[in-house]
Amino acid sequence: MEIEFLGTGAGVPARSRNVTSIALKLLDERNEVWLFDCGEGTQQQILKTTIKPRKVNKIFITHLHGDHIFGLPGFLTSRSNQGGETRLDLYGPTGIKRYVQTSLAVTGTRLSYPIAYHEITEPGIVFEDDQFQVSQLKLDHRIDSYGYRIQEAAFTGELLVDKLKAEQVPSGPIYGKLKAGETVSLPDGRVLNGHDYIGESRPGRIVAIMGDTRKTDHTITLAQDADVLVHESTFSQHESKLARQYFHSTSTQAAQIAVAAHCRRLLLTHISARYLGRAARQLQEEAREVFPNTRVVNDFDIIKIPLPVAVKE
């Protein structure tokens, strides 16, 4: 599991930062890539990475500002031209379907794969299977903007069959009871505690990716105990009035959220073009005073999200 930042700028593209797009690479987990937002030029950014457009099978849109969606029609079209055949699921605010369908209709584009549209109508879970759950809540922006929490299912420990066989425990219904953690008496008088025969388990990983927003409690909910929180940092703490006025956050506010939500790591993105080089590092320093494990990311940064330490059951 990795996050690759395809665009880390705010509002308009700059030479140093393209507008927003974030790839959650789940290649080891399910050979898929999920995009969060798709600003103009995302497909050109992807050309500079190892990401294959046909592996992108889910796109989550945080909000409908142009710097987050104007790359969508081009990406969808090129995915078709480049052999994409599998269904693509598109999640986002109401209006995203109209935007994409109008863009495809006006250009006379027929895609080689179907799009399943999932427009958000109420807070809650937007996707769930055995492996991942994605939920969303509305944030505090000028227009409807959402944050997404991506939660991996816990890995439960396997029954240690080899150990049982080495101890000459005969197979049968006993194995199921041990796997369930029960204590079992054998015919030969031995008493076995199931917990001694179950391998390591570990919790699943949690990634929280926020849309543009002011500081809001909903972010704390979404980011609770997250391994990684991706939060906007459009302004410095010295511009908190501007941040409030334009419905954005400061670096310090993002860090406060990370503290309150007990996150492991904070990645700051959506950096205004006014903060170049040293000024962007200054944003990072501000946040680190509140939450030390903070990084201001740049285009093409890849952040690995390691498996949590295993927990013996």
Let me know: does 18 contact 43? Beta carbons within 8 Å.
no
For this structure, is 227 an active site residue? no
Answer with the entry of a copy of itself, Zn ion, none that 190 interacts with (C-beta below 5 to 8 A by kind).
none
User: Which DSSP string do the residues of 275-310 spell out, in sequence order?
Assistant: --THHHHHHHHHHHHH-SSEEE--TT-EEE-PPPPP
Catalytic member of 28, 37, 67, 130: 67
What DSSP element (H or E) covers 35? Answer: strand 32-36
Question: What is the smallest separation between the CB atom of 235 and Zn ion, expressed in angstroms?
Answer: 12
| Exposed/middle/buried for residue 33 (C-beta within 10 Å: 0-12, 13-18, 19+) | buried
Residue 65 counted as an annotated binding residue = yes
Size of the site for a copy of itself (CB under 8 A): 38
Distance (Å, whole) CA 199 – CA 161:
10
Residue 218 counted as an annotated binding residue = no
Q: Does the protein bind Zn ion through residue 286 (CB under 5 A)?
A: no
Taking the least distance from each CB to a copy of itself, the nearer of 70 and 132 is 70
Distance (Å, whole) CA 117 – CA 76:
13
Q: Does the protein bind a copy of itself through residue 40 (CB under 8 A)?
A: yes
Helical segments of the chain, H only: 27-30, 42-47, 66-69, 72-81, 96-106, 161-166, 173-179, 217-223, 240-245, 251-260, 278-290
Answer with the entry of Zn ion, a copy of itself, none that 212 interacts with (C-beta below 5 to 8 A by kind).
Zn ion
Q: 47 Cβ partners below 8 Å, 6+ apart? A: none
Question: What is the smallest separation between the CB atom of 157 and Zn ion, expressed in angstroms?
Answer: 43
Residue 68 counted as an annotated binding residue = yes
Taking the least distance from each CB to a copy of itself, the nearer of 65 and 205 is 65
Tokens describing residue 82: 């480049």
Question: What is the smallest separation between the CB atom of 108 and a copy of itself, expressed in angstroms?
Answer: 5
Question: What is the smallest separation between the CB atom of 82 and a copy of itself, expressed in angstroms?
Answer: 7
Q: Does the protein bind Zn ion through residue 212 (CB under 5 A)?
A: yes
Name the segment binding Zn ion (CB under 5 A); options: 145-153, 211-219, 258-266, 291-299. 211-219
Q: Which residues are annotated as a binding site?
A: 63, 65, 67-68, 141, 212, 270
**Active site residue ranges:** 67
Task: Give the footprint of a copy of itself on this chain (CB under 8 A).
Answer: 11-15, 18-19, 40-41, 43-44, 47-48, 64-67, 69-71, 73-74, 77-78, 81-82, 95-96, 98-99, 102-103, 106-109, 142-143
